Amino acid sequence: MEISRDDLANYARLFVSRRNDYARQREDGRYRRAFQALTLDILQAHIAGLHTLATYVIDERGLCRFVVYDSDQAQGLDVLAAIQRDLANDGIGSYLERSRRGGHLWVLLAQPARASTLRAWLLPYCPPDVEFYPKQDESGAGVGSLIRLPLGVHRLSGKRYPFVVNQGGAITPVAGTLRDTLTWLRSVERVQLPDSLPVESEPPRDHAAPQHTIVSKSLATRSATGYATIREWTEAQDALKIISGYVKLDGRGLGHCPFGEHHSDGKDSHPSFRAYRPSRPGASSWYCYAWQRGGNVFDFLCKWHDLDAAAMWARIQADDIW
């Protein structure tokens, strides 16, 4: 099944916290850490059922994109539906997913938040016999707990478990096909943190940020990613790694140009696109030989998402790109 990059990116924004690592499910149902970055191509293989993945709930910066209530009881879906009603009464949207032995209830967040903040806010809704993710605060050692990514095929049961809703007392899937489920995911609610909770807008950095001239006042607000300007963000990125998540490249960095409108048949039939690590931080990192144009990684993302600089920067500020 071919899945659009937009659907894959939306899926990743909803369900993937840590991007530099993940785990793969073994045939006995247990998980083995991958020790590599999670790309959209790897996610596509998960949704296609070629392998099954789990994501680390807390990312590299101590932030989470979601919380999950996990019930393995025989009546697990009923237990989770009761939590869902309690959350809804307080204006918090959530989504119910079947699992092999019960279900998962997902609260999807509009912006990443500290694990400790989320536990203080949403753990009180959790009954004693239900597991809550994140299981620990961001200060804990190691990568923390895992949760199986939705829509994949469980290796032990061989089944794919859907998102469900209660319709007239009957639990039914939200959509009839996997493709329709991905379409449905475009419309789900991502919950804002209450104003009464602290929002960590500047997570710790691995090293002191260099000081640069601000690009413009309108684009200079420090973001959830910790960068104050487009230039600062661009200079700190591994451009080749980011671009290779969007374009399939060979060992020389060559691939088919994703921007088809300037190719004669609307598609780059012969690889004319090259991505590379820039000669200096923030410099040009891709070029199309047919188009005779290129740019840095920020330019690439603007072109890929068809956004101007301000809109693209807003997406980056919200940590909302794949």
The confidence score (pLDDT) of residue 200 equals 45
Q: Which of 37, 43, 34, 52 is nearest to 9 (CA)?
A: 43
Query: How much is the mean pLDDT over the chain?
Result: 86
**What per-residue confidence (pLDDT) applies to 220?**
37
pLDDT by residue (tens digit) across 129-186?
Answer: 999 999 999 876 678 899 999 999 999 999 999 999 988 778 899 999 999 999 999 9
- Rounded CA gap, 189 and 63, in Å? 19
Name the CATH topology of 5-185: DNA primase, PRIM domain (3.90.920)
Maximum Cα interatomic distance, the chain, rounded to a whole number of Å: 62
190 contact partners, CB below 8 Å, separation of at least 6? 14, 108, 109, 110
Region 206-231 average pLDDT: 47
217-317 carries CATH number 3.40.50.720: no
Which segment of 88-97, 199-208, 247-256, 282-291 scores lowest on mean pLDDT? 199-208
The domain segmentation of the chain, as residue ranges, is 5-185, 217-317
Per-residue confidence (pLDDT) for residue 19, from 0 to 100: 87
User: Is residue 203 over pLDDT 50?
Assistant: no
- Residues 105-116 have a mean pLDDT of 93
> Using alpha carbons only, how large is the chain's radius of gyration in Å?
21
Is 205 a residue whose pLDDT tops 60?
A: no
* For range 14-41, the mean pLDDT: 92
pLDDT at 255 over 90: yes
Q: Do domains 5-185 and 217-317 have the same CATH topology?
A: no
Distance CA 244, CA 255 (A): 9
% of residues, the chain, pLDDT over 70: 89
Strands (E), 92-238: 95-98, 103-114, 131-133, 146-148, 163-167, 170-173
Nearest to 322 by CA among 248, 268, 242: 242
